[in-house]
Amino acid sequence: MPTAEGGLAVSDLTGQAGSFRLGPVSLAIAPGQVLAVLGPSGAGKTMLLETIAGLRPHRSGRIRLAGTDITSLPPEQRRIGLVFQDAALFPHLSVAGNIRFGPKARRQPPSPGTDPLLRRLGITPLAARSPRSLSGGERQRVALARALAIQPGLLLLDEPLSALDQPTREDLRALLSELLAALDIPAVHVTHDRDEALSISNDLAIIIGGQLRQAGPASHLTAAPAGPETARLLGWTELGPGTADRGTVTTGRLHLPDAAPPGIHGAVRVFYRPEDLLLGTPPAGTQAAASLTARPRRSSPPGPWPASPSPPTRP
Amino acid sequence: MSPPGAPARRWPGGWFGAVMWTLGGLLLAFIVLPIVRLVATSPVASLRQAATTAAIRDATLLSLQAAAITAAIATVFGVPLAWLLARGTFRGRGLIQAVVDLPLVVPHTVAGIALLFLLGRTGWVGGPAGRLGISFYGTQLGIIAAMLFVSAPFAVNSARVAFEAIDPRLEQAARSLGATPWHTFRRVTLPLGLRGVLTGAVLVYARSISEFGAVVIIAYYPATAPVQIYNLFLQSGLTQSAAAAVVLLIVTLSTFLVFRTLASGRLLTRINRAYG
């Protein structure tokens, strides 16, 4: 069973929604650590969060938070802050009313840490506004403040940036990274965006079809994905089917010497990471995993934005 | 003149608009003309006389009172059922919804007879209640029971539609923030569905005050306004009953409009402000 002293430990958690089956999922997140759960749409990421939050019944497994078994507790007793994709702010309450909702429901005295939090999130001037009048980014900041106002033991973020435009997303992503780093609680950030996952967390869990395919440090997962679907999610590009023979991989007309790890023979599917490609002569002292020689027939004129893409070069 | 940027034509034009206006206008005329004719038939003097006649006044007050009580009862019992139907995923949900809609398809005289079997002196409920000194037959209680039977679907359905329109994530957010199911209902679901709940109450009130078929069977006396008007029609003819009908129409319409205005606007704003 995964352990995380004082953090979140999920072991063999399963759930069911119609014919869709989630899990078994086992995860451990230490306090202060952020786990990014990456997966395509419909993979069961939101279902996993809802099951951890107690909003959806589980079939089997256990959930422990800060050493306490919360598996059978109702959601209101779990002390889990949840931020939804669409913010889910209460439209009949003001921004201040939304943020006060949790402490009031828990009969907590007003926290002295709330005002600095609002300042940090830049939403102090919005206190009297209606959620309907806020922009997407402001709504997510309020949703974040609302979730943190209950001083949660765990923060669950369900694609909080996916509905935002690019500049707002980048701003909020930076703010979120900074905020999560400062909090001493475990956090789960669900997304289908690889860049977002990697920028927010050092640890990744890949969920596909309700199954946890791979989990671990982001650097390990991006370097060694467990399968084709995982590789695609992590930004690898498929070259196509090929064959491996004594270390050399052949795909189409390409021959890639020293590309296949020892023990791999026969039919393979060839993937590469675009960011690993080096064009030109390898710098002295570096060794490419695989290389090939190509003779350029034509080159684009120098400039930041060529008017049209260059025709493909033949090796 | 239209403000800049506003659509140039407010109503659909061309043959399509003409057809829509003709068909819709004919139905509107069919609703309005009998009322206009009824009001035009009754001179002010006869209206004044009808309004001061004790029997008509008592019957009108009885109708108003019974309809208001029915609206309150239908709301108190209908809102929980509406919430269950909107949020529940239990087996038999469709059957319960069909049962709720049953009074809408049962002829109201049939409803009155069925209620009489249940609430009459020898009925399943009426018998034991009679031994406790509670009678439904020929009492205000019976009138309220009849009104409730025929109008309850409006309370349930209006609230159910309002609850279904609320994003379930709002209730989930409330639960995750520490609200119990009751707290979530009181602070999130009910305020957001209040317009539907109040609209349902107003519809129940309107439907109850106009009820005749079921009421006349279970409680011919004390006479509600529709029963009294029917009596007048049989005893004194069209002119006398028309004056009483106009009095009832004015009272009903004015109270209905007041309640509907409150339900749709100012009352809601005040309640929501109190929640905020």
pLDDT exceeds 80 at position A283: no
In a domain, A287, yes or no: no
In a domain, A282, yes or no: no
pLDDT exceeds 80 at position B231: yes
Give SS3 for A156: strand
pLDDT exceeds 70 at position B159: yes
Residue A244's contacts (CB-CB under 8 Å, 6 or more residues apart) are A259, A260, A264, A265, A266, A268
In a domain, A307, yes or no: no
**Chain B residues with CB inside 8 Å of A82's CB?**
172-173, 176
Residue A312's contacts (CB-CB under 8 Å, 6 or more residues apart) are none
> Taking the mean position of all CA atoms in its chain, how far away is CA A10?
17
CATH of the domain at A34: 3.40.50.300
Mean pLDDT in residue range B165-182: 95
Mean pLDDT in residue range B173-191: 95
Number of domains in chain A: 2
Give SS3 for B28: helix
Residues A221 and A257 in one domain: no
Residues A159 and A244 in one domain: no
**Chain A residues with CB inside 8 Å of B89's CB?**
none
Calculate the average pLDDT of chain B: 89
Pairwise pLDDT comparison (B167 vs A113), residue with the higher score: B167
Do residue B175 and residue A84 have CB atoms under 8 angstroms apart?
no
Rounded Cα–Cα distance for residues A9 and A15 (Å): 16
Q: Residue B273: its pLDDT value, please?
A: 58
Q: Are A257 and A287 in contact (CB under 8 A)?
A: no
Residues A222 and A249 in one domain: no
Q: Is the ipTM of this structure higher than 0.85?
A: no
Residues A192 and A79 in one domain: yes
Pairwise pLDDT comparison (A101 vs A288), residue with the higher score: A101
Q: Are A180 and A155 in contact (CB under 8 A)?
A: yes
Question: What pLDDT, in 10s, does the model give residues B34-76?
Answer: 999 988 888 888 888 888 889 999 999 999 999 999 999 999 9
Pairwise pLDDT comparison (A242 vs A114), residue with the higher score: A242
Q: What is the DSSP pairing of strand A60-65 with strand A68-69?
A: antiparallel
Question: What pLDDT, in 10s, does the model give residues A242-266?
Answer: 898 888 888 888 888 877 878 888 8
Residues A167 and A260 in one domain: no
Rounded Cα–Cα distance for residues A26 and A11 (Å): 4
Residue A86's domain comprises 8-226
Cα–Cα distances (Å) from A105 to B176, B186, B209, B232, in that order, read 10, 11, 41, 58
> Taking the mean position of all CA atoms in its chain, how far away is CA A25?
16
Calculate the average pLDDT of chain A: 85
In a domain, A102, yes or no: yes
Pairwise pLDDT comparison (A130 vs A6), residue with the higher score: A130
Q: Burial, B181: exposed, middle or buried (Cβ in 10 Å; 0-12, 13-18, 19+)?
A: middle
Do residue A90 and residue B173 have CB atoms under 8 angstroms apart?
yes
In a domain, A294, yes or no: no
Residues A252 and A167 in one domain: no
Q: Which amino acid is at B115?
A: L
Which domains can be identified in chain B, with CATH numbers?
Answer: 53-275 (1.10.3720.10)
Closest CA of chain A from B68, distance in Å: 28
Mean pLDDT in residue range A205-227: 89
Rounded Cα–Cα distance for residues A217 and A204 (Å): 6
In a domain, A188, yes or no: yes
Two tokens, residue B254: 């004015």
Two tokens, residue A107: 């009969």
Two tokens, residue B269: 């704003």
pLDDT exceeds 50 at position B2: no
Residues A195 and A257 in one domain: no
Mean pLDDT in residue range A283-309: 62
In a domain, A252, yes or no: yes
In a domain, A314, yes or no: no
Do residue B173 and residue A78 have CB atoms under 8 angstroms apart?
no
Residues A107 and A150 in one domain: yes
Do residue A105 and residue B272 have CB atoms under 8 angstroms apart?
no
Rounded Cα–Cα distance for residues A104 and B178 (Å): 9
Which residue, among A65, A90, A107, would best test binding to B if mutated, counting the most B CBs under 10 Å from its CB?
A90
Rounded Cα–Cα distance for residues A204 and A198 (Å): 8
Rounded Cα–Cα distance for residues A236 and A35 (Å): 21
pLDDT exceeds 80 at position A23: no
Residues A188 and A246 in one domain: no
Residues A63 and A128 in one domain: yes
Q: Residue B146: its pLDDT value, please?
A: 96
Do residue B167 and residue A94 have CB atoms under 8 angstroms apart?
no
Residue B43's contacts (CB-CB under 8 Å, 6 or more residues apart) are none
Closest by Cα among B70, B63, B75, B85 to B212: B63
Q: Which residues pair with A68 in a beta bridge?
A: A65
Specify whether the backbone of B166 is left (phi greater than 0), alpha (psi in -120 to 50) or beta: beta
Residues A57 and A186 in one domain: yes
Residues A182 and A158 in one domain: yes
Closest CA of chain B from A147, distance in Å: 7
Q: Is the dihedral of CA B69, B70, B74, B75 positive or negative?
A: negative
Q: Is the dihedral of CA B150, B249, B75, A92 positive or negative?
A: positive
Q: Residue A129: its pLDDT value, please?
A: 92
Rounded Cα–Cα distance for residues A27 and A189 (Å): 13
Lowest mean pLDDT among A39-43, A101-105, A275-279, B173-177: A275-279
pLDDT exceeds 90 at position B269: no
